[in-house]
Structure formats: C-alpha cells, structure tokens
C-alpha cells in the first residue's frame, strides 16, 4: 500500500485550501508549529495602539507571570500580521505582557489576516466542509463566523455549514484547551476523543499533566475517559493512573511482544488484553511520513 498526499497544480500540498489560508496565515514566521497556531517570537509582537485598555495592574501581571513560569501559556494570543516578522495583538495583551515578565522567548498564537468579510464567509463555509482540515482549524473557522456579527449564533453557523449544533459546540470547546493540547490536535498527535475527555476536567494544570501522560504512554481514548472520570470523582491523577494501569496491566509475555512490535514498526505500539485472552493491537502514527513507513514495513511482510 502507499500513502497519497493531495497536491495542487504547482505540485505543492494544499491541506488548507484558499479560504482558510485567507483567514489564518500559513506564511513562515521562522517558528515551529503548524498553520493555525504557531510559536511566535515575543520580540516580533507589538501591542495594538487602539487597545481600549491602557493600564494593567502590575501585581496581577506578576501573579500571571508566576503562573506562566509554572505551567506556561494556557490560552494562545490572537495576532494579525502587519509586516514581515511583525505582528500586532488582536487579543491577549495581558498574556503577552506577563510572558515578557516571565522571560518567555515566544508565545503560542493564532495568526489572522483581515480580508473582505463576505468573501471570507463563503471561503470559510467551503473549507469547513472539507474533510482534510484538522479539528483546531475547523474550530477557529466556526469562531470566526460567530465573531463576524452579533446576530450570528451557533445554530446559524451549524445551518450554514450543514452540521449539527452539538458538533459546532464540541469543536468550539476545543479552543478552551491549553495551547499544547491544541497544537497536538492540529498535528494529529491526539484524537478528538482524547480532547473531549480532557475538557471534562476543570483544571488546566491537570489537563496538561494528563495530556502529557497520554502522549507519553499512548493512552487510548477509553483509558483517558476512565482517568477523567476518576479524577472528577475526587481521585488525584497519580492515584487514578495507578488504578487504571493496574487494571489494564499486560502479562509479561505480552509486554515482550508489544516491545518487539514497537521496535519492528518504529512507533509505540499499544496492546490491551483481557483475562480471556481477547485484546487489541494499535499502531499509532504522528504524521503521513510515519504512516508511510508503517505501510512500507507491512508491504515487505508480504
């Protein structure tokens, strides 16, 4: 088998399409990250001179800076590109100022460009209906449609894009997750099911801890849901993890097999097995390149 990418007439990949490219800049800013949420150097960001809020409480900024030092930026700032390597804040000046106090060199940010709104809406609707957009791109598009005018509601957005209101709501809720989780979603390192489970936890710091643990150990959606349920019932993450891990612990022979498969496919293979010997093998991949490698290995097995 082979993995096929979609290309435009110039031979370049075209994952976003012209509509969402117009809303969210895909130009390189000499940073890491993908097209919808990027790590932008702080020295390339400036405040909006038309920002109505001109005074910021220094004590509150220092408290936020201390929080940022401990767990990082939770909610990305929103920027618009005004020149090469120059961005202006649309929303999040307080987070930007506190990040400077915290000594951060870059910030997670949504980058937008401003274009004709009528054309933009048509392009957004067209692109939302595409199947190759990631969850965060879709969520940002829904949010933009809602921000266009005060009369726009989630019901109207759902009607425009041919989706249910519940689906629109679920996508919009993803934008409340910590920035690292959103980045993992758009890179498809995390499933929508994982993200929806994390949303059931109120604490951003616990969300982040469980997210990192999920990526490190390759938890299934069902396991994350069980962990979240235990945490919401009053158990701490460490206690909940111990109980869940003990419950799903594989016999030693299966662990050896799992390690052999992981080495064979060069990815962290997951395996579950119940007392009756029934189970499941999962082979995760973080990119099309990794998937292509897995398929090449399987082709050779023929």
CA–CA dist 199, 286 (Å, integer): 22
β-strands 77-83, 106-112: how paired? parallel
Question: How far from each other are the two terminal CA atoms of the chain, in whole angstroms?
Answer: 11
Extract the runs of DSSP E, i.e. beta strands, from the chain: 37-41, 45-46, 77-83, 86-91, 106-112, 270-273, 279-282
Interior CA angle at 195 toward 190 and 200, to 5°?
155
Q: 97 phi and psi, to 5 degrees?
A: -65, -45
Q: 218 phi and psi, to 5 degrees?
A: 65, 40
- Cross-strand bridge partners of residue 273: 279
Matching residue, tokens 């993200």: 195
Helices 58-71, 204-217: axis angle to 10 degrees equals: 20
CA-nearest of 200, 249, 189, 192 to 226 is 200
Interior CA angle at 219 toward 165 and 184, to 5°?
60
Q: How many CB atoms lie within 10 A of CB 99?
A: 25
* 160 alpha-carbon distance from chain centroid: 24
Q: Which of 46, 93, 235, 290 is catalytic?
A: 93
CA–CA dist 41, 102 (Å, integer): 14
Residue 62 among the catalytic residues: no
CA–CA dist 94, 97 (Å, integer): 5
Active site residues: 93
């Amino acid at each position: 088998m082979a993995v096929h990418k979609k290309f435009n007439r110039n031979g370049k990949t075209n994952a976003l399409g012209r509509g969402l490219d117009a809303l969210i800049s895909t130009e390189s800013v000499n940073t890491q990250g993908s097209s919808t949420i990027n790590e932008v150097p702080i020295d390339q960001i400036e405040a909006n001179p038309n920002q109505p809020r001109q005074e910021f409480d220094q004590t509150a900024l220092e408290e936020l800076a201390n929080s940022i030092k401990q767990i990082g930026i939770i909610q990305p700032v929103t920027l618009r590109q005004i020149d090469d390597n120059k961005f202006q804040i649309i929303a999040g000046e307080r987070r930007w100022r506190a990040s400077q106090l915290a000594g951060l060199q870059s910030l997670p940010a949504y980058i937008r460009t401003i274009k004709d709104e009528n054309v933009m809406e048509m392009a957004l609707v067209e692109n939302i209906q595409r199947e190759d957009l990631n969850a965060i791109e879709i969520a940002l598009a829904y949010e933009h449609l809602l921000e266009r005018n005060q009369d726009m509601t989630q019901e109207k957005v759902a009607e425009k894009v041919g989706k249910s209101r519940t689906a629109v709501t679920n996508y919009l809720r993803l934008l409340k997750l910590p920035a690292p989780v959103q980045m993992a979603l758009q890179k498809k390192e995390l499933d929508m099911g994982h993200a929806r489970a994390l949303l059931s936890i109120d604490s951003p710091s616990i969300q982040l801890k469980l997210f990192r643990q999920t990526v490190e150990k390759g938890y299934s959606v069902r396991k994350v849901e069980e962990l979240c349920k235990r945490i919401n019932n009053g158990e701490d993450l460490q206690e909940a993890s111990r109980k869940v891990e003990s419950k799903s612990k594989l016999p030693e022979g299966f662990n050896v097999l799992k390690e052999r498969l992981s080495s064979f496919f060069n990815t962290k293979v997951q395996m579950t097995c119940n007392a009756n010997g029934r189970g499941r093998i999962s082979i995760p991949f973080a990119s099309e390149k990794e998937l292509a490698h897995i398929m090449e290995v399987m082709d050779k097995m023929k």
